[in-house]
Every structure is written in structure tokens, then in C-alpha cells.
Structure 1
Amino acid sequence: MEKDKLALFLLLALTLIQGVLGIGVNYGKLANDLPQPAQVAKFLSESTVINRVRLFDANPEILQAFAHTGIDITITVPSDEIPHLAKLNPAQQWVSTNVQRFIPATNIIRILVGNEVLATANKLLISNLVPAMQALHTALVAAPLDHRIKVSTPHSLGILSSSSPPSSGKFRQGYDTHVIKPLLNFLKATNAPFMVNPYPFYDCSTDTVDYALFRPNTGVLDDYTKLQYTNMWDAQLDAVYSAMEALGFEDVEIVIAETGWPSMGDLAQVSVDSQSAAEYNANLVRHVHSGIGTPLMPNRTFETYIFGLFNENLKPGPTCERNFGLFRPNMTPVYDIGILRNTAVADDHPKTLSLIMVVMSLNLAVKIFDMGLI
């Protein structure tokens, strides 16, 4: 009996370690100096602990490159295709062309319809968003692929009309009942996640940078719930949760489609350097996988995708937009957070993320074992 328990403990510990060490990244291609997809897929699968990749399209060369790697792939329907895919026949053709011919060799787990569509204020795109999601889901069911591939869409935090304090979180009036509620109904019915793109970087100032980077700080009290917030990430997620709860969908899973911190920027920006970027991303991954959750969502982990995989030299906008990458185009790390397998300890980051995650996983397994749950 004791041997059986020990075996179960070791299996649990291994499962937790494998799950926690997995990191999701956004693989953007707005650059003219990136390695070939085959090189990228080989590098990620053999040299890193990254096991989930989100694409901003359904590039066939990339999908082919990730075949037999075991990496989970999320693909995206470009926003301008949304109106066309609101009808079943085009949706079925899209699934056949961009999904069916690549599986099971490529592990496609999710289709995202557009990106931050509500932020575009484009009425044609917004009105067709949920119908396109429904048509794609119906096409997957008919394939039949519905059991393994989910359909969702990512949102910026601009969908909220109120977010401070977190308990006051509400969706923007008009969108709340006409778009977001039907969308949440669809997600709940298909067991798909509500996906958001929180970026503490864009909301921080010199006064709140410690709060944004998960550093020790005095925290912020939500006067309504009396809950204390020690980082901006928790506050942003709980504002989204409060908005979902107000519509009656607090049980829909939340997935972070993208978040990150740039390693270089313009002079006026706060803490834009490789040390801050490493600190944010390492603390982020440790926090979301710790099982601590947030004040309003305790004891939860969150599937999270860091933006981005590479620095992208053709992205428009301020300098920071071209410097969110974990890696340079030559596949060397911009900074070290323990993503590389068997990586040496970096001078500016004395604990690798992987070691921290292993210790946390073992500690969690011990707690579960001690509680008599195995």
C-alpha cells in the first residue's frame, strides 16, 4: 500500500513539474530577419521548455514545421476574414484548408477568431464575431474535430468600462449584452476559454512600477471586498472576473492570450530594460503557475502566453513594440529566465525559472500527499 502511495506521489510530482515548466509564447513574424519556421520548431522543441505556441495566422509552413514536435499550437483567423466566415460553407472550407490537413501531426488545440476585435470599433467585424465563432465550431463538429479544438477570441482590457477597484469590473455598455454575453454563452456551451491580453507595463508609472513587476510593495486595498492586492496582474484579472461574474459567467475559464514586458524602449518610458523584462516574465510565470491564484480566484492556475518569442524589427509604433521578444532572431536569449533546457545560471538572474518551478511543484505534491488526497 505504501509503495502504491509512493508511486502515486512520484507520478503526481512528475506531472506537476511537466505542467508547470511549460511556457506559452506568441510567435509573431513582423520582421525581416527571423529564422525559418523549421529552425524555430526544432529550437523550441529540443532546446527550450516552451510547449505552447500562439500564431497570429494559420501559416501552413509554420504548421508543417511544428508537426511531430508535441507543441500545442493555437492558430488565428485574421480579423478581415471574420465576415466571410460567419457562414457555414466558408467556415468548413477554412477548417479543411487550415486545420484538417495538418492534424494529427501538428497538435492544433485552438482557433482564435481575430485579435482584440472589439477594440477596432469596426461594426462589421464586431457584429460577425460570434456568428463566425459559431460557424467554425459547427465546422469542427462536422469534421469531426470539436472534442480537441476550441474556438475563442482574445480581448484587450479596453473591453472594461470599470476596473478599479477590481470588484467594480464591468464590461463596456452596449458590448456587454449585445456581444460579450452571447460570446460567453458560446464559450460556456463549448467549454472554451475567455481570452484576455493584460499588460501591466502599459498601465504602470514611476509610482506603481514595483506593483506592476511583482516586487515587494505596500499593495492596494479593494475597499468593497477588503481584499489586498500586491500586484497589478491580479488586479487586472480580477477586474475581468468581476465583469464576467456580473453577467453570470464566473465559471468560464480565463486564459491569458498575451502579456509581456519590453527589454528596450524610449526614454520617457518606465523601467524599459532587460532586467525589468526578465523580472516581470519570471515573476509572472512563477505566479500564474503557483496555484495561489488571485484574491477573487484563489487556488487557480492560468494558461499564459508571453509576448513574444522574437524581437520583431518591422512592428510599427514606439521602440518598445519592437523589443518584447524573449529571443533575438539568432535564437539567443535577450535575457535568461530559465527557458533554455540545461541552461546555466545567469549572472543577472541568480535562480533559473526551471529550478524554481521544480521546487514549487515538489512542494505542492508534498502538500497534496500530506493532506491524504493520494
Structure 2
Amino acid sequence: MEKALTILLPLLTLFSIRDQICSLLYSLTSYWLSGVQGSIGVNYGTVADNLPPPSQVARFLLDSTIINRVKLYDTNQEILQAFAHTGIAITVAVPNNLIPNLANLNFSQQWVKTNIVPHIPATNIVRIVVGNEVLSTTDNSVVSSLVPAMQTLHAALIGEDLDRRIKVSTPHSLAILSSSSPPSSGTFKQGNVALVIKQLLGFLRATGSPFMINPYPFFGYSGNTLDYAMFRPNSGVLDEMTDRKYTNMLDAQLDATYSAMKQLGFGDLEIIIAETGWPSKGDPGQTGVDTESAQEFNAKLIKHVMSGIGTPLMPNKTFETYIFALFNENQKPGPISERNFGLFQPNMTPVYKVGILRHTEGSASPSYRNPVRGKPVRSPVPRTDGGKTWCIPKTGANEDVLQMNIDYVCGLGFDCQPIREGGRCFYPNSVRAHAAYAMNVYYQATGRHEYDCDFRQTGAITSSNPSYRRCKY
């Protein structure tokens, strides 16, 4: 094992500069993708015996909601197949018990070939999370294997040329902090956490991957801090060390995490909210746990993380955020609240309304969320010309829509470097020319079906190669 890691670590170093550049380009693209559709996702748990088939779930999210990010807790093959050709960004997970095995390169390579490769590029898998809240467990074999598992998994992705498309991370609970109040005093725990965390942060930086945290104001509030947890008007909490005032608990939790990372020299890493939410039902007499409170928290959460305000220590930021959870899950153990975090009932009716359904809930017109497919196509429509085809904009297509096509494709993580300044397809520097390249990249990668070139009826399929000079399609 040590010999294998000795070989792998130089590989990570060689690829780190490239990965950081790609991560920067992706971040810059994502910055311009303003709106809820760019950063709000859901955790799709399946600990229930009454959930709809994955194909119905994928179609529902695609056609009826503004959600375009989904985080899974495994690599359920039926679910991954159901999300093929939707463009929805998928995060998959390795369960904690497989982490020691994953530290073996041969196991990681086979795991990637079995669980990931068959679904690429049709399913837009963008991230693999290794375990869940591993550093809060007491299983030393799992904790000590976490970073080696992430390293070997990344190496396996390199071997499949998927490392730029798919990043590797792991979500943490706030229990990894020994101090969080005031937020500027945030520090990581000693012991197992201290032994692993700096190595973990180094891996994330080298591979351009985010730090993922599960902040839950629900688990941190008491009777006299409910307003603070719920984003309601309150007197706030002053951090005397920074003279910054906190008006909600989520910001304090995020800044405590940031402070702990900065203390170790990693304040530059992106922070993603991997889980947060509020249950709509709790145990009898539990204060602030009802449908109205869940609706209020999640509606204000979405507005806050997408406002661009950021936090006192991380101003002018939006946060990629995954609400827990998509459905109420009737077989989850524990208190009543554990089975009632869902935004939707198993029949896909909303438990309450927070503004994520398209055309409904009193929300504004739907965002330009998935431009590729027009009318639903139930089965792939293969090419019939027997030769290669390309996707280009229709004559007279609206330039604003073409720009949104560019943003959509590049935001999914496809290689848009050729149409950036200095790239081989940057000239002619026009929206139409850049859209032609981006739309064709998507069309080629997803199988060259007719619906992959719809782009809200702005795309046209051609048998004439649009390549020119250095710009090869």
C-alpha cells in the first residue's frame, strides 16, 4: 500500500496545477450563472418503502422544479440511469464501510469502472463524496483510510480521464470543530481529526475540490435562539474579536468552519453546504418544529445563500447548497423529525412551498435551467444519416438565448477553454460562434441524439463540419 501511494502522490502533484486552473475556470463560469438554478440542490435519500421510481423523480425535477443539482448517498445504478440526458449535476457517494477497501488502487479502479464509467457522459456526475461525516466516527480504520481512499479514487479517475469532470470530496459534521463561538475562534478538534484534516485540506487544494460541511441550525437552536436559527429579526450576536455582528446561526456556523480552515492556511478553499434543512414534524411539544417553520427556514435559506451577500467573514459569496431532503423517508430510524425533513411527499406533492416549483408557488417565471431538451423524448432518437453530424445555432437564433446556452454547457463542467480568450476557437469573438462550439460539445458528448441539440429550439443539426483553421469541432 505504501509503495502504491508513493507512486500516486507524484501523480497528484503533476495534475494539481492543471486541476487548479480548471477549477478556477469552472468557478468563474459558475459566478456568472446567477440565480437559484446555479447553486440549490437536494439530497435524494431512499430510506423508505413508498418512494416513486427514479425515472419519475428525474422527470419531475427536470420538468417541474428549478433544482438542477442532486446529491445521492450511494451509486444506485437505476437512479444514475434515470438522470441520463437531464443535465442535472449529480453527486454520488461511497458508503463509510467501503473506505478502507477504496484505499487500494485496484479496488478504486474497479469501483470507478463499475459505478461511474458506464454512466459518463450521459449522466452528469460531477462529484464523488467518500463517506459521510467520517471524521466524527470512532472507527479508526475508516478515519485513517479516508485520505488514502480519496487519493486512490482520484488516481483512478485520472486513469479514466475523468478527473477534471469529477471531483472527490467528503462531507463533515460540525462536530469536527472544538470551538465555534465566536465564529472567528473556530478550530478543528485534536486527536483523529487533527491527524487527518490538514492532509485532507491539502488534497482538496491540490485537486481543486471543495470542502463540504453539514451545518444544521436545527440541531443547534434552543428555545431562546429560535429566531436566530430561523433567519428572523433578532438582536444578533457580536463577535468581539472581529467586531462583526451575526444575525443568523447559519452564517456563524459557516464562518466558524472558515476560521478553522484559515487557521491551517486553507482559507482559499470553496465551502459547500452538503446538507441542511428543517423538519416539518417533530416529537410532541417540540418547539419550532412544524410545517410553517420548515417552510420559513428553507425559503429564507434559499434566498440567503443565493443573495450574494455571503457571511461576515466571507462576503460577496453564494454557496452551493443541498437541502435535506427531497422526500420524507418513512423508514429512517430515530425521532419523528428524522422522517420528516422532505420537501416533497412520496407522491411528489410539496409538503410546503418554498419557491422551487416552476410556474407555481407564486414564484417568478422559471429560470433558464435546462435549455437542451424541448418536449420530453421518452427514448433516444439515433442518427439516421449514417455519418457524423454537428449541432450549431439556427439562423436568426436570439443571441441572449445563445449566451444562456453557452453558460449552461460550460456550467456543467464541459471544456469551454477553446472559446475563452486565447483559446483556439475564441475568434471570431461572437456569441453565435462561441455558442456553436459549446452546443456542439454537449451534443457530441451526450450521444448525438436529436433532443441533445434542441436548446429550446435554437439548435440545428448539420452534416457539414463547422470546423475552421485551428478550431476543430
For 1:123-272, what aligned pairs fall within 5 Å after superposition? 123-272=140-289
Which of 52, 56, 59 pairs up with 2:73? 56
User: 2:217 is aligned with what amino acid?
Assistant: P
Q: Does 1:17 align with 2:35?
A: yes
Instruction: After superposition, give the CA deviation of every residue in 1:40-75 in whole Å (9 maximum; x if it has no partner).
Output: 001001111110000000000000000001100000
Tell me the TM-score normalized by structure 1: 0.88
Residue by residue over 1:232-281, the C-alpha shift from the partner in whole angstroms, topping out at 9 and shown as x without a partner, is 00000000001001111000110011000000001242200111111111
CA drift at 1:16? 2.2
Whether the 8 Å contact between 2:359 and 2:365 is mirrored in structure 1 is no
Alpha carbons 2:36, 2:302 under 8 Å: kept: no
Distance 1:180 1:327 in 2: 36
Query: Which structure 2 residues correspond to residues 282-293 of structure 1 after superposition, within 5 A?
Result: 282-293=299-310
Aligned 8 A contact 1:286 1:357 in 2: no
Take 1:189 and 1:270, find their aligned partners in 2: how far apart are those partners? 44
The range that moved more, 297-306 or 172-181, is 172-181
SS of residue in 2 equivalent to 1:151? strand
Bigger RCO of structures 1 and 2 (CA < 8 A, at least 6 apart) = 1
Gap runs ≥5 in structure 1:
1-11, 346-351, 359-374
> SS of 1:256's equivalent?
strand
Q: Structure 1, residues 172-229: CA drift from partner, whole Å, max 9, x if none?
A: 0123441000000000000000000000001111110110010110000001111000
TM-aligned CA distance change 1:336 to 1:18, over 3 Å: closer
Distance 1:30 1:236, change over 3 A: same
CA drift at 1:338: 1.3
Residue 308 of structure 1 aligns to a residue whose secondary structure is: coil
Report deviation, 1:120. Answer: 1.4
2:327 is the alignment partner of 1:310:
yes
SS of residue paired to 1:74 = strand
Cα separation, 2, equivalents of 1:14 and 1:88:
38
> Which residue number corresponds to residue 294 of structure 1?
311
Q: Which has the greater radius of gyration?
A: 2
CA distance in 2, matches of 1:13, 1:54: 21
SS in 2 for 1:208: helix
| Counterpart-to-counterpart distance in 1, 2:288 and 2:174 | 22
Could you tell me whether the CA contact under 8 Å between 2:45 and 2:73 is conserved in 1?
A: yes
- Alignment correspondent of 2:27: none
Q: By how many angstroms is 1:13 displaced? A: 12
Separation in 2, partners of 1:270, 1:46: 36
Mapped contact 2:37–2:66 kept (Cα < 8 A)? no
CA contact (8 A) 1:326 1:334 kept: yes
Instruction: Decide whether the 8 Å contact of 2:210 with 2:270 is kept in 1.
Output: yes
Structure 2 unmatched runs, 5+ = 1-29, 369-473
Report what 1:3 is aligned to.
none
Matched, 1:87 2:126: no
Q: 1 CA distance for matches of 2:66 and 2:141?
A: 40
Deviation at 1:140, TM superposition (A): 0.4
Number of equivalences: 340
C-alpha contact 2:37 2:67 (8 A) present in aligned 1: no
CA contact (8 A) 2:327 2:343 kept: yes
Whole-Å Cα distance in 1 between the matches of residues 278 and 193 of structure 2?
A: 29
Given candidates 328, 332, 343, the residue that maps to 1:326 is 343
C-alpha contact 1:83 1:132 (8 A) present in aligned 2: yes
Contact 2:36 2:66 in 1 (8 A): no
Specify whether residues 357 and 277 from structure 1 end up closer, same or farther in structure 2 by C-alpha distance, changes over 3 A only. Answer: farther
**Whole-angstrom CA distance in 2 between matches of 1:271 and 1:325:** 16
One-letter identity of the residue aligned with 1:275: E
CA contact (8 A) 2:212 2:273 kept: yes
Asked if 1 retains the 8 angstrom alpha-carbon contact of 2:66 and 2:367, the reply is: no
Post-superposition shift, 1:356? 11
Number of the residue aligned with 2:51: 34
Task: Measure the CA separation in 2 of the matches of 1:169 and 1:268.
Answer: 33
Q: CA deviation at 1:31?
A: 0.4
Q: How far apart, in 1, do the equivalents of 2:365 and 2:217 lie?
A: 26
- Give the match for residue 5 of structure 1: none
Paired letter, 1:220: V
Q: What is the alpha-carbon distance in structure 1 between the residues aligned to residue 144 and residue 351 of structure 2?
A: 41
Query: Matched residues in 2 for 1:88 and 1:23: separation?
Result: 34
Distance in 1 separating the partners of 2:218 and 2:361: 28
Amino-acid identity (%)? 65
Alignment of 1:114-125 (within 5 A): 114-125=131-142
Note the alpha carbon deviations across 1:128-157, whole angstroms, 9 max, x for none: 000000000000011010011000000000
Contact 1:313 1:322 in 2 (8 A): yes
Q: 1:337 and 1:357, CA in 2 relative to 1: closer, same or farther beyond 3 A?
A: farther
Amino acid in structure 2 at the alignment position of 1:17: G
